[in-house]
């Protein structure tokens, strides 16, 4: 899917942060469910954010399922069936936003038909303790496989185009995700959270991760997200020297997340977020968007830059 789209365009534009936009629109997401909380409370706001990202130029939208898990919802008092429906609704909302955008604006724009990607966050996102930035979990490998498989089956049933396996802190968890996909036909991209210009968060060289993923037929792209933007150019070069697959990147604004208080601190990197896009493209990235603390205006600017290629 991604290769076919990239045969028509030099770069695909990914959307930006969901939680950041929901907060701007009055949602309280200071909760262990994070933005998945809004799936139950105000799903129409999630759909509107998706629509707005497509409208400013995103070729790929990502669903609100990053922190949506059956066990997470059950811990909040929802039944198993209610939890499953909420997870399924995350991709329904994204696809509905895409359809509405396409019928209202997109079909006459000359753009490619946008992609709907189902977010698969790491196990640490469900724990809501910051461990998605360390990969240090108290769960067996088989337990990790089953954790990911349950949600992926639900999302595939709703017809997602591709899985966005994102903010993955370790090669081990990437391998568990691929093991979970043995009975799943939908392809994926795998995007790592990283600690510096050469290593994913648990310390594994990203080059080692890319070498492994290069050989995996279900992996359509390899990348980096939820990482300070100043690290990303180096990480792209590490991936590109061992892989010819598309590279997807979507960094944070440069602020720092406090996992205990569930707030962002510090200031953005001081370099307009969209200004990183040309550097990342030159380094070898093919799919570019934004992660935490980015918004539609950033994606609009990246889209405008892409039109000059």
| Four-way CATH pick for 2-306: 3.40.50.720, 3.20.20.330, 3.30.590.20, 1.20.120.1760 | 3.20.20.330
For the chain, which residues make up each domain, given as ranges?
2-306
Backbone angles phi, psi at 168, to 5 degrees: -80, 125
CB atoms within 10 A of CB 138: 7
| Cα gap 134→142, rounded to integer Å | 19
Model pLDDT, residue 255: 58
CA gap 249, 291 in Å, rounded:
9
Q: Are strands 287-290 and 256-258 parallel, antiparallel or unpaired?
A: unpaired
pLDDT tens digits, one per residue of 31-53? 888 899 999 999 999 999 999 99
Q: Which residues of the chain have pLDDT under 50?
A: 264, 266-267
| DSSP letter for each residue of 81-127 | HHHHHHHHHHHHHHHHHHHHHHHHTGGGTTPPPPEEEEEE--HHHHH
pLDDT of residue 79: 98
Q: Is 200 exposed, middle or buried (0-12, 13-18, 19+ CB in 10 A)?
A: buried
pLDDT computed for residue 254 by the predictor:
64
Distance between CA atoms of residues 97 and 48, nearest Å: 7
Per-residue pLDDT tens digits for 183-240: 999 999 999 999 999 999 999 999 999 999 999 999 999 999 999 999 999 999 999 9
């Amino acid at each position: 899917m991604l290769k076919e789209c990239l045969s028509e365009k030099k770069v695909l534009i990914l959307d930006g942060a969901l939680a950041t936009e929901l907060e701007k629109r009055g949602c309280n997401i200071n909760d262990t469910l994070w933005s998945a909380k809004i799936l139950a409370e105000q799903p129409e706001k999630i759909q509107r954010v998706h629509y707005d990202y497509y409208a400013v130029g995103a070729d790929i939208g990502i669903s609100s399922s990053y922190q949506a898990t059956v066990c997470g919802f059950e811990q909040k008092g929802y039944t198993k069936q209610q939890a499953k429906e909420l997870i399924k609704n995350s991709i329904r909302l994204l696809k509905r936003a895409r359809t509405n955008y396409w019928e209202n604006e997109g079909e006459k724009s000359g753009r490619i038909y946008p992609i709907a990607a189902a977010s698969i966050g790491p196990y640490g996102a469900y724990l809501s303790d910051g461990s998605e930035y360390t990969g240090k979990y108290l769960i067996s490998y088989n337990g990790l496989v089953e954790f990911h498989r349950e949600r992926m089956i639900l999302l595939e049933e709703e017809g997602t185009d591709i899985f966005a396996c994102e903010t993955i802190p370790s090669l081990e968890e990437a391998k568990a995700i691929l093991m979970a996909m043995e009975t799943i036909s939908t392809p994926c991209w795998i995007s790592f959270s990283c600690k510096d210009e050469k290593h994913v968060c648990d310390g594994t060289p990203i080059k080692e991760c890319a070498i492994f993923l290069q050989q995996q037929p279900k992996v359509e792209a390899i990348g980096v997200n939820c990482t300070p933007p100043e690290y990303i150019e180096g990480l792209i070069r590490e991936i590109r020297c061992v892989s010819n697959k598309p590279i997807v990147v979507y960094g944070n604004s440069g602020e720092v997340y406090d996992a205990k208080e569930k707030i962002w601190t510090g200031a953005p990197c001081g370099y307009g977020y969209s200004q990183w896009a040309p550097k990342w493209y030159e380094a070898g990235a093919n799919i570019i968007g934004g992660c935490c603390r980015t918004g539609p205006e950033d994606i609009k600017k990246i889209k405008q830059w892409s039109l000059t290629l």
